[in-house]
Amino acid sequence: MRFIDGECSRNLDREAMEKYGLDTLVLMENAGLRGADLIAEKFPLEYKKVKIAIVIGKGNNGGDALVVARHLYNKGYDIQLFCPYRPSEFSPAAAANYTTVETMGIPVKFITNERELLIFKVMLLSSHCVVDGLFGSGFHGTMTGIAADIVNVINEAKRPVFALDIPSGVDGDDGSVSGPAIKARWTVTFALPKRGNILSPGGEYNGELTVVDISFPRELTEEKENDDIIIDETWALAKMRPRKSESHKGLYGHVLVAGGSDGMAGSLILAGKGALKSGAGLVTYMMPQSLYPAVASHNMEAMTITLPENEEGSLTEESAEFLLKQTGNKILVMGMGLSRHEDSKAFVKKVLDHYNCPMVMDADALMALGELGERKKSSHPLILTPHPGEMARLLGWSIREVQEKRIQAVTEAAKKYDAVVVLKGNKTMIATPGGKLMVNLTGNAGMATCGMGDVLAGIIGGLLGQGLDPSSAAALGVYFHGLAGDWAAAEKSQMGLNAGDILEYLPKVLRDYEAKLKEVATDVL
């Protein structure tokens, strides 16, 4: 599903008016009507009076709320409007709807001082629901003054809140929350979800999110090639490739898994198993010779090649020479357990400069790349899978900066390294060098444990080997990795979840999606 920022939302409105002749009042009417219908579903009258407090702002979000008020009033609801602004401050469309509401006799109370705020607080106690129409997706910065006081009173009242478009106080462009913000139980967003509805922490303020159509022409809202998207089931099914009856292992890719060092065999093993469990036809481990017994004994399906190592058990530039002798179109997944030894950094540089097939870089390979500071111009596709600490090294930022500016971080890294970049974490983001942003909503806090990233790198490598383009392989890998974690947590709990559980549940998730893919094919026929 496509999602948009504030600028794109404004462009949609403008194009709807200029190209298709859809007036703002028409779109506002549709938004308010859909919002009113959803509220009526949550709070049916059923022979009792339902009292709804509606807070309106001065912009078009306030106009949407005024339309909601009119329709709910006509249905028989007890409506009370509250506003911290004077009508003279309203946008033209909001002012037009205010005039209609005023003519209908729907009461409006203005909140401009402490006394009026106290009255509002008391009146909330008898309300069944609060509708938030204070600020929309164009909000940025920190809410202050009487508006901030109103939001705090609403949150303290503990009444269920229905937010229009986005909870007030959440930045529509990046989901940041730097001051008071509405904690909604439900949010209805119009036409397309906004970045602030999806990204953290703002996405956690939505409650249950519903996206409704308000009659934008399909050509304006349908997904284009470089649009930002939420990775969902529909997208995943469109990217999956069913296996042919006439198949052999050579059709599904050969993945080289390179890395490991003294005491770090497990990282390598998990990545190789991730590649196999995601469908790779062949997997070969490439590791320091001293790790051979541990690796070979834990994965009988894979092949092994031992590489020269230094006295500390790390790979070296000489190891890279051996790796580069591999022929054929083989996917390389590199970095898990590699170590941060100077020799390992030389190994990474040599491989990065001279390997000519698609590559996934994770863990210590990313730390080495961050020290190199650049990537030699190359035609081979590259996927980077950093967690925030590794991203900080890649960009020369602090971890705090990365977490506060996740969109900027992932998009800058993609351009800097000419790579598809996966910034791991809650709502993992994937960015392409061309600027496309993809956000994943699967996964859970139980996956914050060792080995999860190793499995993910292997899964992405396995999907690359099956012919997916780099951005699709990265996004689909992240999606299925998170979904396997969700399935495992549902049966086992988040506490105690480990990387091996992902390997156990990934085939179950893939089986489910293979069945859904067959259903889609049957429906088409």
Task: Name the CATH superfamily, with its identifier, for domain 248-524.
Answer: Ribokinase (3.40.1190.20)
Residues whose CB is less than 8 angstroms from the CB of residue 298 and which lie 6 or more positions away in sequence, other chains included: 265, 269
- Confidence band of 503 (pLDDT split at 50, 70, 90): very high
Q: In the chain, what are the domain boundaries?
A: 6-222, 248-524
489 vs 521, more confident: 489
- Please provide the distance, in angstroms rounded to a whole number, between the alpha carbons at the two ends of the chain: 24
SS3 453: helix
Q: How far apart are CA 354 and CA 320, in angstroms?
A: 9
- Which of 56, 148, 68 has the alpha carbon at shortest distance from 109? 56
Are the beta carbons of 82 and 112 closer than 8 angstroms? no
Answer whether 226's CB lies under 8 Å from 437's CB: no
Is the CB of residue 354 less than 8 Å from the CB of residue 327?
A: no
Q: What is the DSSP letter of 254?
A: E
Q: Tell me the mean pLDDT in the region 86-111.
A: 97
- Is beta strand 359-361 parallel, antiparallel or unpaired with respect to 331-334? parallel
Q: Under a CB-based contact definition with an 8 Å cutoff, are residues 302 and 272 in contact?
A: yes
Rounded Cα gap, residues 313 and 339, in angstroms: 9
When the pLDDT of each residue in the chain is averaged and rounded to a whole number, the result is 94
Distance CA 136, CA 130 (A): 16
- The tokens for 81 are 């409007």
**Distance between CA atoms of residues 443 and 478, nearest Å:** 9
Dihedral over Cα of 214, 219, 222, 225: its sign: negative
- Residue 400 burial (10 A CB sphere; 0-12, 13-18, 19+): exposed
pLDDT tier, 328 (very low <50, low <70, confident <90, very high otherwise): confident
CB-CB contact of 422 with 383 (8 Å)? yes
Confirm if 121 and 153 have CB atoms less than 8 A apart.
yes
Q: How far apart are CA 91 and CA 227, in angstroms?
A: 30
Are 42 and 261 a contacting pair, CB within 8 Å? no
Q: What is the pLDDT of residue 524?
A: 47
CA–CA gap between residue 46 and residue 66 (Å, rounded):
24
Q: Examine the pLDDT at 185 and tell me if it is beyond 90.
A: yes
In this predicted structure, which of 89-103, 236-250, 347-361, 369-383 has the lowest mean pLDDT?
369-383
Amino acid at 116: E
Mean pLDDT of 505-516: 96
Share of the chain above pLDDT 70, in %: 98
Tokens of 441: 């909503």
Task: State residue 93's pLDDT score.
Answer: 97
Which residues have a Cβ under 8 Å from the Cβ of 507 and sit 6 or more positions away?
Answer: 277
Q: Who's near 97: CB < 8 A, 6+ residues apart?
A: 25, 28, 32, 63, 66, 67, 70
| Phi-psi category of residue 333: left, alpha or beta, with phi > 0 → left and psi -120 to 50 → alpha | beta
Q: Which fold has domain 6-222?
A: Rossmann fold (3.40.50)
Structure tokens, 179? 């001051």
Please state the rounded mean pLDDT for residues 156-180: 96
Q: Is the Cα dihedral 100, 103, 108, 112 positive or negative? A: positive
| DSSP per-residue codes, 346-368 | HHHHHHHHH--S-EEE-THHHHH
Return the closest-CA partner of residue 278 out of 127, 503, 497, 446. Answer: 503
Strand partners, 109: 82
**Percent of the chain beyond pLDDT 90?**
89
- Which among 247, 329, 330 is positioned nearest to 284, based on CA atoms? 330
pLDDT at 245 (0 to 100): 87
Where do the DSSP E strands lie in 7-99?
Answer: 51-56, 78-83
DSSP-derived secondary structure for 371-438: HH-S----SS-EEE---HHHHHHHHT--HHHHHHTHHHHHHHHHHHTTSEEEE-STT-EEE-TT--EE
Given this model, what pLDDT does residue 29 score? 98
Coil, helix or strand for 142? coil
Mean pLDDT value across residues 370-388 = 87
Greater pLDDT, 353 or 68:
68
Q: Which residue has the tokens 């990204």?
A: 199
Over the stretch 120-145, which tens digit does the pLDDT of each residue have?
Answer: 999 999 999 999 999 999 899 999 99
pLDDT at res. 525: 45
pLDDT at 47: 64
Q: Are 270 and 457 in contact (CB under 8 A)?
A: no
Beta strands in 274-314 (DSSP E): 282-288, 303-307
Average pLDDT over residues 403-419: 95
Please give the pLDDT value at position 499: 98
Give the span between the Cα atoms of 77 and 71, in whole angstroms.
9
pLDDT at 523 over 70: no
